Amino acid sequence: MGDPISLLSERFVKFPGIGPRQAQRFVQFLLRTTPSARRELANAILALSGTHRCGQCMRYHTGEEATCAICLHPSRDAALLAVVASDTDLDALEKSSAYKGYYFVVGGTISLATERASVLREKELLKYIAERIDAGLIEVILAFPANPEGDYTGSQLKAIIGEKYPGIRISSLGRGLSTGSELEYADPDTLKSAFSGRR
């Protein structure tokens, strides 16, 4: 076993967007907290092992069922399916109460630098759309962040979905969202107007 301070710091450096200085600040912060606060954090991390992806929307959840509580909820609007980049975007839309349809987490946006869509669950999305059509789906809403990668991802998916399911309406969130804004930072009113202004 090496020095626990540097070992933990090396772990934090692997987090997205975290450099060595920030990693050290996290460790220093933890050193100033109580043992019980550190234990709570460690337990919260361990509890992640009990989560799994929902077989329908693909978000991580802790329920005992294969399908998550959102997808199982009886009052969801079967006419709508929102395609989002990430679990955090799904959470932001869900918390805003702007939207009551179903979701699909496609797993990211296409990087404009590489134009590689390999990270996206396109096949799974197309398969899920077919299932939702059987359940009454009318419209797919592409709910991506208002930035160039979000726009590009939306237009690529629109082409793929439109080709396979020409009868389905495909819309994008209205740009009540200011350009560059991430869904997860948008306030509920902005998200509501982005949904009502979709086209």
Binding positions for Zn ion, rule: CB under 5 A: 54, 56-57, 68, 71
- Which residue, 73 or 164, is less far from Zn ion as judged by CB? 73
CB of 22 to Zn ion, least distance (A): 33
- Which residue, 67 or 196, is less far from Zn ion as judged by CB? 67
CB of 33 to Zn ion, least distance (A): 34
CB of 60 to Zn ion, least distance (A): 10
- Which residue, 71 or 140, is less far from Zn ion as judged by CB? 71
CB of 97 to Zn ion, least distance (A): 17
- Which residue, 94 or 182, is less far from Zn ion as judged by CB? 94
- Write out the DSSP string of 9-71: HHHHHTSTT--HHHHHHHHHHHHHS-HHHHHHHHHHHHHGGG-EE-TTT--EE--SSSS-HHH
Query: Residue 53's closest CA among 39, 43, 42, 63?
Result: 63
Compute the distance between CA of residue 106 and CA of residue 173 in angstroms, rounded to an integer: 16
